Structure 1
Amino acid sequence: MNYPIYGACQCGQVSYELLNKPKRVFACHCTECQKLATGPYSVTAVVNTSDIVFKGEMREWSRVADSGNSNNAKFCGGCGNRIYHYNPDDMSLIKLKLKPVNLEDDKVFAPTEHVWTDKKLSWCELP
């Protein structure tokens, strides 16, 4: 795959340029990700902040995760698409949880693992 690759929210107000391959891609089955995805799981790619460039204005929302960490989310104020998550209490990691939104090449976000599978919906089959 050739980098950079480009993605955007549903309305196109927020876009991003991914400069390098994600460090990790997983499907999360926790109940919060089920709500986020309005489906059985949410796909998340973890990338270094230095490997991504955003354009456009985003709004922010936060909650406390089951771990006790702060989980902040950036999203498009126009269409509401979630763009990424981050933990402001642990900036030493400097990683973003990028939501795969309207990518030119979707293969970069194929999950290699499933997490929180004890919360998966009964009808969801794991590979």
Structure 2
Amino acid sequence: MTESITGACFCGSIRFRFNQPPVAKRACWCRDCQYLSAGNASINLIFPLASRELEGEVRDYVSLSDSGNTMRRSFCPHCGTPLFSTSSSRPEMVVVRAGALDDRELGKPEGFIWTASAPSWGLTDTDLPSCPNQPPPVAAR
């Protein structure tokens, strides 16, 4: 059995757990993620939604992304910590913001997406795969 991956919001009123490893770990430079990450890339892990256990109530913000997908972004209504995203194109998966993980070392990206939207000073690791925009959907391993 895989060790649980856990995390929380800044104030601790929301806790979460996954009992499966992530299917992908990447840094996203899309403009929406830059807003959510104070101008930087958003570091994200992708899990099957069914594997998430959630304590506490999140609030959602729904918007249309540059990829044309409807995005539901979940955050703590008390402290505002961005926690999760789901996409209309793959509703069975959930994106988790690496900054909310208890073990932040788990957030090391395996690749970069939406690099065409990065500012000139935006950093990527040239040894890792990169995609200038939306990559194909990931599937559960």
* TM-score normalised by structure 1 residue count: 0.89
Shift of residue 124, structure 1, vs aligned partner = 2.2
Question: What are the ranges of 5 or more consecutive residues in structure 1 without an aligned counterpart?
Answer: none
Aligned to 1:117: 115
- If asked which structure has higher relative contact order (CA below 8 Å, sep 6+), I would say 1
In structure 2, C-alpha distance between the alignment counterparts of 1:49 and 1:125, rounded to whole Å = 29
Contact 2:83 2:100 in 1 (8 A): no
Shift of residue 45, structure 1, vs aligned partner = 0.9
Contact 2:13 2:56 in 1 (8 A): yes
Matched residues, percent identical?
27
Q: Secondary structure at the match of 1:79?
A: coil
After TM superposition, the structure 1 = structure 2 runs for residues 14-53 of structure 1, keeping only pairs within 5 Å, are: 14-53=14-53
Shift of residue 90, structure 1, vs aligned partner = 4.5
Listed one character per residue, the Cα deviations across residues 78-127 of structure 1 (whole Å, up to 9, x for unaligned) are 00111101124643xx0001112342322221100001111112112321
Q: Secondary structure at the match of 1:68?
A: coil
Q: Is residue 57 of structure 1 aligned with residue 67 of structure 2?
A: no
Letter paired with 1:33: C
Q: Secondary structure at the match of 1:107?
A: helix
Aligned to 1:9: 9
Contact 1:10 1:101 in 2 (8 A): no
Letter paired with 1:114: F
Question: What are the ranges of 5 or more consecutive residues in structure 2 without an aligned counterpart?
Answer: 126-141
Q: Secondary structure at the match of 2:120?
A: coil
Contact 1:14 1:55 in 2 (8 A): yes
In structure 2, C-alpha distance between the alignment counterparts of 1:90 and 1:52, rounded to whole Å = 15
* TM-score normalised by structure 2 residue count: 0.81
- Considering fraction of residues, name the structure with more strand: 1
Listed one character per residue, the Cα deviations across residues 55-89 of structure 1 (whole Å, up to 9, x for unaligned) are 10111111011122110111110001111011246
